[in-house]
Amino acid sequence: MKFCSNCGAPVALKVPPGDNLERHVCDACSTIHYSNPKMVLGCIPEWEDRVLLCRRAIEPRHGKWTLPAGFMENGETTAEAAMRETLEEAGARVELGELYTVLSVRHVNQVHMFYRARLLDLDFAPGTESLEVGLFREDEIPWPELAFRTISATLRHYYEDRRGGTFRLHAGDIPPLR
């Protein structure tokens, strides 16, 4: 941020009165511009013993596999965002179950959340952000070809819980790679 989005004047990084963090502050119109983490919402669409994955047609991680997920938009709930992204990326309709993972990715200012979900039919097809969409059994999951660590963490929890017979929320964080 170099200019004030309210008045167009240049902004400066400074700690506003009563605050303890640097913000982009406009001296011309006194607007304080805050920047906050974003949420990425998605789901684990289940069909019998398989889950739906999408191969990414966009950067970052073009060509890698992911659960359907994307940035939550203003004006929607976390559940609506997860269903919308699943429809956009995989053309897939789901019935959402429980919220399953909430994973902070501090070094990129994001929180990724995944719901469990039941795929309603097999009439899915890649959206513009996907190269292909497929169903995978556990032994077919392309672990080294997964796009993000929140995806592999979510799938790892999912198969562990499935073996244990009980699914529960997993909240945690993904540390930076050294």
Is 3 a binding residue for a copy of itself by CB under 8 A? The answer is yes
Provide, rounded to whole angstroms, the least separation between the CB of residue 142 and a copy of itself: 26
Is 78 a binding residue for a copy of itself by CB under 8 A? The answer is yes
- Comparing CA positions, the residue from 58, 36, 44 lying closest to residue 108 is 36
Q: How far apart are CA 178 and CA 171, in angstroms?
A: 22
Rounded CA Rg of the chain? 19
- Phi then psi for residue 114, to 5 deg, are -125, 135
Letters for 124-153 (x = contact with a copy of itself by CB under 8 A, - = none) are: ----x-------------------------
Is 62 a binding residue for a copy of itself by CB under 8 A? The answer is no
Is 14 a binding residue for a copy of itself by CB under 8 A? The answer is no
CB–CB of 84/61 below 8 Å? Answer: no
Take residue 11 and report the two structure tokens written for it.
């902004």
> Given the rule CB under 8 A, which residues bind a copy of itself?
1-11, 18, 21, 24, 33-39, 71-80, 98-99, 102, 104, 106-107, 109, 111, 113, 128, 169, 171, 173
